[in-house]
Amino acid sequence: MSIIFNGLNSLLNFVFNITGDWGIAIVLLTLFIRVILLPLSIKQKINLNKQQSLQEKTEALKIKYKNNKKKLDEEILKLQQENFKTMIGCLSSLLQLPIISSLYYVIIRMPVDAGTYLIPWITSIKLPDKYFILPFIYILVSLMPNLLPYIKFLKLKKQNNINVSNLLVTVVFSLIISIKAPIALGIYFITTSLFSLIEEIGFKLYYNNITINKA
């Protein structure tokens, strides 16, 4: 873990030496890490969708072979083997956690006390935003992925619309972690949330396109 931390810390300082702005350096480093981890993230999304599909197949088999227990057990066993492979694929996403957490600690432990061109109304990225502009932006960006199912061509097959309680949980959680957070972390939160939003939109378009072509 310390190796990853030291590596990311050195990389952040390297990017700062090029840009001359800590805020921009945080954005670029965050984007770089997310791009590196993109294949794992996409694989996780695909495996999660496969799991949902396997659950639907299991229910269909129970109906189809309700009067033939032996055949049902055989078909269920095949699906369980396929599901095990899918779960192993989902576990690969855990490789992201040490990198993402190290990036978080690199940013939160920054020793510098300076402003950034990205947010001209603040004097230090180590202080919270006293105008609460960044927390508000972060809440909006965090809500956007939850609203994607309401867009017809971005809704995955049999995906349910989000309910109001989930939206409220997202708002409260985003507010809690951002309202007192240093500007540096606010920049990280917003950057990674925007990347996740674009990644989610791209994945939905790609996955829906594959589904249409297979139909």
When pLDDT is averaged across residues 31-35 and rounded to a whole number, the result is 93
When pLDDT is averaged across residues 12-29 and rounded to a whole number, the result is 94
| Per-residue confidence (pLDDT) for residue 22, from 0 to 100 | 94
pLDDT in tens, 46-97: 777 777 777 777 777 777 777 777 777 777 777 777 666 555 555 555 666 7
Report the chain's terminal Cα–Cα distance, integer Å: 45
Quote the pTM value. 0.81
pLDDT in tens, 86-112: 555 555 556 667 877 888 888 888 877
| Per-residue confidence (pLDDT) for residue 148, from 0 to 100 | 77
What value does the mean pLDDT of the chain take? 81
Total domains present in the chain: 1
Q: What string of DSSP letters covers the chain?
A: -HHHHHHHHHHHHHHHHHHS-HHHHHHHHHHHHHHHHHHHHHHHHHHHHHHHHHHHHHHHHHHHTTT-HHHHHHHHHHHHHHHHHHHHHHHGGGGHHHHHHHHHHHHHT-------TTSTT-S-TTS--TT-HHHHHHHHHHHHHHHGGGSGGGPPTTPPPPPHHHHHHHHHHHHHHHTTS-HHHHHHHHHHHHHHHHHHHHHHHHHHHHHHHH-
pLDDT in tens, 104-144: 888 888 877 888 999 999 889 989 999 999 999 999 999 88
When pLDDT is averaged across residues 185-202 and rounded to a whole number, the result is 92
Q: Which has the closest alpha carbon to 13: 112, 120, 96?
A: 112
Domain that holds residue 114: 2-214
